[in-house]
Amino acid sequence: MDVRELRPGLWRWAAAHPEWEEGLHWPREVGSVYAELPEALAVIDPQVPTDATEDFWAALDRDVERLGRPVHVLLTVHWHERSVEAVLDRYDATLWRPDQPGELPSGVRAEIVKGADWVEALFYLEPWRALVVGDLLIGDGEGGVRVPLSWFPTEEQDWARAGLKDRLRALLDLDVDLVLVSHGEPVLTDGKAALVQALST
């Protein structure tokens, strides 16, 4: 497990997905985000590491107790269920999911993108100017991000693919410093430039 504090109160960890198999189009390590918001503690797309489970729970238990704030689990897209149920059960947490949206914790905004059979939320964490993404943007291996169009069905099967970049351009209205992707390396400075590059090529 790789754990990094990106900014005070904002952490990202990467852990191996237990259902990953050789040949899948996404990498084995998946990213999750922990954010200490003004009135809540948010965990986004959590994957509890199988190689450090006890240490993970002990650290999260300490943070939950220290903050004394309600825990919110935010889901970017339904196939990122991962360890959501375990976190919900352990902390009596509140779940927010894009296909059944409700009220978000203070300091979080969601940009919703819909496909033929999926709905994804991209979360903007205002205190850090951080954009948290599920599958619509991934690390490009060169310090930036890209839209993985090959991950989505062909245009005949999914109308969303053809205009996906156009609909993501609304993100350029946000003041983004970090882009925290689930797959690949995050962008930790000048995230707006990374978004411009990804959406213009």
pLDDT in tens, 65-115: 999 999 999 999 988 888 999 999 999 999 999 998 899 999 999 999 987
pLDDT at 160 over 80: no
Instruction: Tell me the pLDDT tens digit for each residue of 26-67.
Output: 667 889 999 999 999 999 999 998 877 899 999 999 999 999
**pLDDT over 50 (residue 156):** no
User: Is pLDDT above 50 for 180?
Assistant: yes
The neighbouring-strand residues paired with 13 are 3, 32
Q: Report in angstroms the alpha-carbon separations of 149 from 41, 84, 164.
A: 32, 26, 8
Q: Name which residue leads in pLDDT, 66 or 24.
A: 66
pLDDT at 116: 72
Q: Domains of the chain (ranges plus CATH)?
A: 2-200 (3.60.15.10)
Q: Which pLDDT score, from 0 to 100, does residue 114 have?
A: 85
The predicted structure's pLDDT at residue 83? 92
Average pLDDT score, the chain = 89
Token readout for 12 is: 């990202």
Q: Which two tokens stand for residue 130?
A: 């951080």
**pLDDT at 175 > cutoff 70:** yes
Q: Is 91 exposed, middle or buried (0-12, 13-18, 19+ CB in 10 A)?
A: middle
Give pLDDT, residue 24.
58
Share of the chain above pLDDT 90, in %: 67
Cα 169 from Cα 165, distance rounded (Å): 6
Tell me which of 118 and 119 has the higher pLDDT. Answer: 119
CB-count burial class (<10 Å; 0-12, 13-18, 19+) for 68:
exposed
pLDDT value at 159 more than 60: no
